[in-house]
Structure 1
């Protein structure tokens, strides 16, 4: 159902929201409309190269990710630089232990293209005629390696074809072609300094027709290690970056513990029991001592705690202790969590779930979860919560730890109680098949539904813990104050216990995209193709000087003024914010632009916001919406710590309207 049938376009809406998009300006490729001039002919120079698997250096030889790097005053105002940051990738599934062998040979994106031949784009047809078509990214696997050919499951494409045979079959698209050297019409990507040039990322961009550029001016998508105010404030209407500001509030172990702790204090421990009891040491030593005292009342044995460095990765520095652990020395901090002693076991082994989540907006909040992920096993059988604490192979599920153990691949489908070893890594589909084999199809469906419902609840509450902070920073740091230029991928590490309750262990805001195993190529290659399609990059036609005429766009300020500052309140739970009486518990709208209902009248900005959210759903593919979702959105309204913004209220109402229309 098209957006225009339920969301009437305001009379004062601009004639085109994307006036220079390829789908609007070039419906048919004609040789005489693809004019090249010296100013608009793009050539990748010899020095503008990426080395696969290596960190991308600064083009001028200065690396802004170096903590000692200090930009000049001119660079601070005109350059897109990256701040220093700690490692955030705790799924250190690297292709090799050192620099990849392929890194010795420079990889030049687009080398295989005819430099004067066509670049083909598949643009998804929008539901609303005034919206622009966005790029459809096909799944690309590259040439199979010897390891791929020897994998008993088959090649990466075979794995995906068997698990997801009808992937995105319902997406309608048109094909457009431009000359590979025509900067006016090319869609371009940049990998920012400090980020790793993962092969699977480069392949995903190029499969969609994008070409690499080192330029801060021409790119359509910047794949950066981190988005800083310098990056966010310089973004143009046609550009996107893969981070929001403020998400370090969940991306660091200590910040996640503090933010969830804040929500527990406001709303109660039961409402936000989504992470194991966590303490930032040494700051919260007294709170940890109180937790230990409570756990041992009546002569009970002391619980086991797991201690992790605040900003480490790959399982480095993780230790387990029964009772009070030692405090970190010097200026170092650590996160101490109550150990989950009753994990769900497969073949006697612990595992965690690596699931991929994408947020396409915080104002309004829009969360998607991918239908596939990874199941990562401990290398040795689990002995219980108080035994073998020094043996990391029994207790840790980090792939970088477990990959050193020799596990065979012959155990798929074996009974849960078997003594045979299991694979070191599965995908989510394998886990669901295991449940069906061992518990029957009907019970397996009930079990997975419970797990998934818990995962959704964890994800929504996790993002609500930083929603107010991120929105505040969007207003102050972004060239468009709603953050329409941003999207972000998260790697979530989740633990399932033997009662099918789910706890969030860690959040990675720059998850590893290395593809050392064939299964990684299948899962991560498909996930990236779907994620980039969901992000809706739009190829723009630039003018004769190679830039987009920004005067033709809706002014950036128009997206965040007026009703966007309005807040509604739903004080239905302890600690929920309260506002004026007339702003409390307002029901969902049942119709837009109803003159009898003031709240229903849409501005052009709000019409655009709803239409863009609708187009995202058409592009989501394997990413299922987690929030807002009909029937559950209002349940979380009380947990918006500053009240519910008008944008969130309108989008939730729109979601309910579409659900009623469908039924």
Structure 2
């Protein structure tokens, strides 16, 4: 895992804008989580945020403080935070519009699809390599298999959890230990119940991890250093008589808040009540239980990376089909993970739209920095104006700056014939050593574009840490369905510059000064979506 911090002096006059590290790359809007000097009026006129009924108050306040005008009905919007849409609707996005989802994320957000993807990885690479999710059966199609397994299982191990495949917040979940308790002719998943959860003060708990994916190809994953530990509000027991007690066996806040014994915790630093911050949990486990927290966190990172790789191929196909610009999409996932009494993490589910509602000061302490850093990492540009020139907008900001507005060339998915040839050449390399050195020789405009967006992301990590790619994550490349050129590119870049980033950045600056990154494929080159 790697966290990169670059102390870059901001040379722009206005605090609401931050420069790219690189010349001839437009600046980014700097989201404000407090009171700051407002952006000039002519800039604010260009910033439109499309509201949604599910837009969290934290997001709404942040974009409003930054200078966006929030509108319910708006065609010329730059950003939105909404529910997932159909793949065909992604094709209607303009190049300068940024949506908070990728197409095809049902592959990870639905429990049945998630299990099928992980099961496929188990079949290909072995049970031990992808033993990250409890054994699951999808009914009705797996009913016969489940019945056979049930009959071979000892009675004391016959504990299963029943879940609707697409529900959330604990809806429809129940524990059973008799086969007759499983509903018939109902689409459900039946999952092996983890009978030996790690307990704190006798209570079961799970972890909510926040994971940001800014690109599918190349795969770029960031894990928030903070999150939530959510406790069941009744002390744990595996006695069959307790299986109907949802306050004992489920850790969802949306379930436990209705228990009269539920204790609210408003202090982000306190180990009290039934919800803690992840940072507080780590300190508690290290100090009070003598746990090697670093090792636990490494196992969580491994789980997150393997989960994303298990759905990478299907996600990539959806992105290639639906998105016409690399600027359009990003995704923040909520991973729910349970630790057993051996501190092995088990993936319970992945939320495509994790709740950002803040019912307490503790929630705000976690979620406000989370949203602030998320929007700054993904990077929003000022949209172009039909009324004012770039020079006029630059003067509005207090200095002559060029460029000022979004440039779709930086996020194009089109490749020149030469770039396609280079991609195919390195994709067909049999070993890592064959591309590690040579792929960085003679960087193409497409190479440079990917690397400058990547390096600009790394200046805004805040509460996030980069977990993929790093100089160590090349060990995961063997699990990808296909060799991806851009994964190879970033692997080679990390290997060469992970401990001397300034040297790599200086190389890119020189290339951007020559505007090589702005050389894009011509239409008559028959460019296609191979860049994805």
Equivalent in the alignment of 1:397? 251
Residues in 2 aligned to 1:385 and 1:519: alpha-carbon distance in whole angstroms: 33
Check if 1:536 corresponds to 2:379: yes
Query: Over the residues paired in the alignment, what is the CA RMSD in angstroms?
Result: 3.3
Equivalent in the alignment of 1:305? 160
Check if 1:610 corresponds to 2:451: yes
Change (3 A) 1:551 1:361: closer
Residues in 2 aligned to 1:512 and 1:459: alpha-carbon distance in whole angstroms: 19
Residues in 2 aligned to 1:500 and 1:508: alpha-carbon distance in whole angstroms: 22
Equivalent in the alignment of 1:638? 478
How far has the Cα of 1:267 moved from its partner?
Answer: 1.6
State the SS of the aligned residue for 1:470: helix
Change (3 A) 1:335 1:385: farther
Of 601, 606, 612, the match for 2:442 = 601
Q: Give unpaired runs (5+ residues) of structure 1.
A: 4-22, 29-119, 143-173, 417-421, 570-581, 592-596
Residues in 2 aligned to 1:502 and 1:543: alpha-carbon distance in whole angstroms: 53
Of 47, 71, 77, the match for 1:187 = 47
Normalization by structure 2: what TM-score? 0.81
How far has the Cα of 1:630 moved from its partner?
Answer: 1.2
State the SS of the aligned residue for 1:351: strand
Residues in 2 aligned to 1:393 and 1:543: alpha-carbon distance in whole angstroms: 57
Q: How does 1:132-281 map to 2 (within 5 A)?
A: 132-140=26-34, 177-179=39-41, 183=45, 186-192=46-52, 195-214=53-72, 216-281=74-139
Equivalent in the alignment of 2:200? 346
Q: Can you list the C-alpha shifts for 1:261-281, whole angstroms capped at 9, x where unaligned?
A: 121122221111110111111
Of 449, 457, 460, the match for 2:294 = 449
Residues in 1 aligned to 2:407 and 2:486: alpha-carbon distance in whole angstroms: 25
Change (3 A) 1:552 1:525: closer
Q: How does 1:641-656 map to 2 (within 5 A)?
A: 641=481, 643-656=482-495
Change (3 A) 1:363 1:181: closer
Task: Tell me if the contact between 1:135 and 1:536 (Cα under 8 Å) persists in the aligned partners.
Answer: yes
Change (3 A) 1:557 1:358: closer
State the SS of the aligned residue for 2:414: helix
How far has the Cα of 1:635 moved from its partner?
Answer: 0.8
Change (3 A) 1:466 1:552: closer
Check if 1:123 corresponds to 2:10: no
Equivalent in the alignment of 1:658? 497
Normalization by structure 1: what TM-score? 0.66
Q: Give unpaired runs (5+ residues) of structure 2.
A: 5-9, 391-403, 503-532
Task: Tell me if the contact between 2:471 and 2:495 (Cα under 8 Å) persists in the aligned partners.
Answer: yes
Task: Tell me if the contact between 2:266 and 2:360 (Cα under 8 Å) persists in the aligned partners.
Answer: no
Q: Can you list the C-alpha shifts for 1:143-185, whole angstroms capped at 9, x where unaligned?
A: xxxxxxxxxxxxxxxxxxxxxxxxxxxxxxx9883116853xx
Task: Tell me if the contact between 1:242 and 1:488 (Cα under 8 Å) persists in the aligned partners.
Answer: yes
Task: Tell me if the contact between 1:282 and 1:327 (Cα under 8 Å) persists in the aligned partners.
Answer: no
Equivalent in the alignment of 2:328? 485
How far has the Cα of 1:565 moved from its partner?
Answer: 5.7
How far has the Cα of 1:208 moved from its partner?
Answer: 2.4
Task: Tell me if the contact between 2:47 and 2:78 (Cα under 8 Å) persists in the aligned partners.
Answer: yes
Check if 1:586 corresponds to 2:432: yes
Task: Tell me if the contact between 1:403 and 1:424 (Cα under 8 Å) persists in the aligned partners.
Answer: no
Task: Tell me if the contact between 2:265 and 2:362 (Cα under 8 Å) persists in the aligned partners.
Answer: no
Change (3 A) 1:598 1:403: closer
Of 259, 264, 278, the match for 1:428 = 278
How far has the Cα of 1:514 moved from its partner?
Answer: 1.3
Residues in 1 aligned to 2:263 and 2:407: alpha-carbon distance in whole angstroms: 61
Task: Tell me if the contact between 2:31 and 2:62 (Cα under 8 Å) persists in the aligned partners.
Answer: yes
How far has the Cα of 1:393 moved from its partner?
Answer: 1.1
Change (3 A) 1:619 1:549: closer
Q: Larger % of helix: which?
A: 2
State the SS of the aligned residue for 1:240: coil
